[in-house]
C-alpha cells in the first residue's frame, strides 16, 4: 500500500500518484532483494560469485536509506513544511501505512517460531542475561512489536520481523515530522547536527562509560541500534530535496532554489559534514549517499523508457509487501535446498536467485497485498477526513 503525492508543497490531501516516486521505490526494493539474494546464493552454490554482479549489486544494502529519502520527500510534498496542524488524519494515514502488513508478518513469524521451534525469532525468545525475561516471552514480544520498540533488545531488534529495524526507524521519522514542521529549517538542521556530534562522541566513548549509572549503557546501545541519528539524515535530505526542487521549478535557478529553502550557508556547512561522522547501519555513509545520488540519476533514465518505467512502477507499487515477503521467500528456498541436500555449481546463480526471488515475491504481492486504495486505503482516508 503506497501513498499518493500532491503536486504542491501545501498541506492538503494528496490526490495524484507520483510515477517517479514509484520508480525510485522500485529501484530501492530491487536492490535490497538483490543483495539478500546474493547472500543466500553464496551459501547454496559453489563458486557462485560473479564479481561484477557482486560488486555492483552489493551496494543494494543501501536501498533502505533510499526508502528513507523517499519518505521525507513524500511527507513534505503532501503536508508541506508549514501550515495548519496535521491533525488526527496524519496519524490515521501513518497507522494505515505501517500497521497492516507489520501485523501480518508479525503473526507469520510468531506462528513459525511456535510451530517449528526454529528461526531467528525462536532463538531470540530464549532468555538473555541482563534483559527482562518478559521481553522474550510471546506477550512481551507482541507488546514491543506493537509499540515499535524492539530495538531496546539486542536479540529482538531485527529478529522478530526480518528487516524490522528499518520500520522502527521509519516510525521514528513519522513521529519527528510533526515536531519539525512549522519550525525554522536552520534550527532543525543545527539540532540534527548536534545530535550527530553527540552520538559520535558517545559511541567512541562507550568503552569508558562503565562508570555511568546502571542502565546507561543499555540506553546508549538501544539508541545506537535504532540508528535514528543516521536514518533521519536521509529523511531530512528527502525533505530538503523536495523544497529545493520546488524552488527550482518556480525560479529555474539553482542558487535561487537553495535560497528559497531558507537555510543559511553556515548551517549547511555544519549539517552536511555531520551526516558523515556517524555510522551507517549497514555500511559507510559516503557509499550510502553516493548510492542515493546514483539511484536518483538512474531513475531519471528509467523514466525515459516506457517498458522500464512500467516494470519499476509495478515494483514500487508493491515495494512494502515485497520488502517483507522476500525474506520469507529466501528463507523457504534455503530451507528446502538444505533439506534436499541441494548443492549447485556454476556461474549465474546469483543472478538467477535474484530474479527468482523478485518474481516470486512480486507474484505473491500481486495476489495477496493490498497496495491500492480499493480495499484499505480508501476507508483510512475517509476516516482521516472525519477525524481531521
pLDDT digits (tens, 9 = 90+) for 152-170: 988 888 888 999 999 999 9
For the chain, which residues make up each domain, given as ranges? 19-387
Q: Where on the phi/psi map is residue 130: left (φ > 0), alpha (ψ -120 to 50), or beta?
A: left
Using DSSP, state whether 163 is helix, strand or coil: coil
Nearest CA to 370 among 181, 100, 145? 100
Q: Above 60 in pLDDT, residue 7?
A: no
**What is the residue whose three cell numbers read 541441494?**
342
Count of C-beta atoms within a 10 Å radius of residue 200: 16
pLDDT of the residue at 210: 63
Q: How far apart are CA 250 and CA 245, in angstroms?
A: 9
Q: Name the DSSP letter for residue 375.
A: I
Q: Above 50 in pLDDT, residue 11?
A: no
pLDDT of the residue at 244: 93
Q: Above 50 in pLDDT, residue 67?
A: yes
Question: Rounded to 5 degrees, what are φ and ψ at 239?
Answer: -60, -50
Q: How does residue 337 score in pLDDT terms, banded at 50, 70 and 90?
A: confident
Q: Are 238 and 71 in contact (CB under 8 A)?
A: yes
Cell of 336: 528446502
Q: Are 324 and 161 in contact (CB under 8 A)?
A: yes
Amino acid at each position: 500500500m503506497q501513498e499518493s503525492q500532491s503536486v504542491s508543497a501545501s498541506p492538503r490531501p494528496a490526490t495524484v500518484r507520483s510515477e517517479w516516486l514509484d520508480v525510485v521505490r522500485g529501484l530501492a526494493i530491487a536492490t535490497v532483494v538483490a543483495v539478500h539474494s546474493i547472500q543466500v546464493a553464496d551459501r547454496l552454490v559453489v563458486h557462485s560469485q560473479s564479481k561484477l554482479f557482486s560488486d555492483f549489486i552489493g551496494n543494494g544494502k543501501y536501498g533502505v536509506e533510499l526508502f528513507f529519502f523517499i519518505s521525507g520527500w513524500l511527507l513534505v510534498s503532501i503536508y508541506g513544511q508549514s501550515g495548519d496542524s496535521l491533525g488526527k488524519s496524519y496519524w490515521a494515514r501513518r497507522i494505515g501505512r505501517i500497521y497492516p502488513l507489520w501485523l501480518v508478518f508479525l503473526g507469520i513469524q510468531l506462528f513459525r517460531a511456535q510451530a517449528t521451534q526454529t528461526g531467528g525469532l525462536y532463538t531470540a525468545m530464549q532468555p538473555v542475561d541482563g534483559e527482562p525475561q518478559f521481553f522474550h516471552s510471546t506477550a512481551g514480544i507482541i507488546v514491543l512489536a506493537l509499540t515499535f520498540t524492539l530495538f531496546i533488545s539486542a536479540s529482538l531488534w531485527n529478529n522478530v520481523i526480518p528487516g524490522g529495524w528499518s520500520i522502527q526507524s521509519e516510525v521514528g521519522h513519522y513521529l519527528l515530522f510533526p515536531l519539525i514542521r512549522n519550525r525554522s529549517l536552520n534550527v532543525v538542521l543545527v539540532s540534527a547536527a548536534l545530535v550527530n556530534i553527540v552520538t559520535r562522541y558517545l559511541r567512541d566513548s562507550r568503552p569508558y562509560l562503565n562508570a555511568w549509572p546502571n542502565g546507561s549503557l543499555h540506553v546508549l546501545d538501544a539508541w545506537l541500534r535504532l540508528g535514528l541519528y543516521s536514518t533521519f539524515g536521509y529523511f531530512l535530505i528527502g525533505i530538503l530535496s523536495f523544497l529545493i526542487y520546488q524552488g527550482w521549478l518556480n525560479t529555474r535557478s539553482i542558487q535561487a532554489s537553495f535560497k528559497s529553502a531558507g537555510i543559511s550557508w553556515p548551517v549547511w556547512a555544519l549539517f552536511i559534514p555531520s551526516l558523515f561522522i556517524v555510522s551507517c547501519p549497514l555500511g559507510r555513509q559516503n557509499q550510502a549517499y553516493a548510492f542515493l545520488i546514483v539511484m536518483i540519476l538512474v531513475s531519471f533514465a528509467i523514466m525515459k523508457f516506457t517498458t522500464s518505467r512500467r516494470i519499476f512502477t509495478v515494483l514500487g507499487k508493491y515495494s512494502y509487501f515485497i520488502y517483507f515477503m522476500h525474506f520469507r521467500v529466501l528463507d523457504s528456498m534455503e530451507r528446502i535446498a538444505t533439506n534436499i541436500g541441494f548443492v549447485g555449481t556454476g556461474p549465474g546463480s546469483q543472478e538467477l536467485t535474484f530474479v527468482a526471488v523478485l518474481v516470486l515475491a512480486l507474484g505473491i504481492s500481486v495476489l495477496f497485498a493490498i497496495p491500492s486504495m480499493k480495499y484499505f486505503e480508501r476507508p483510512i482516508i475517509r476516516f482521516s477526513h472525519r477525524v481531521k
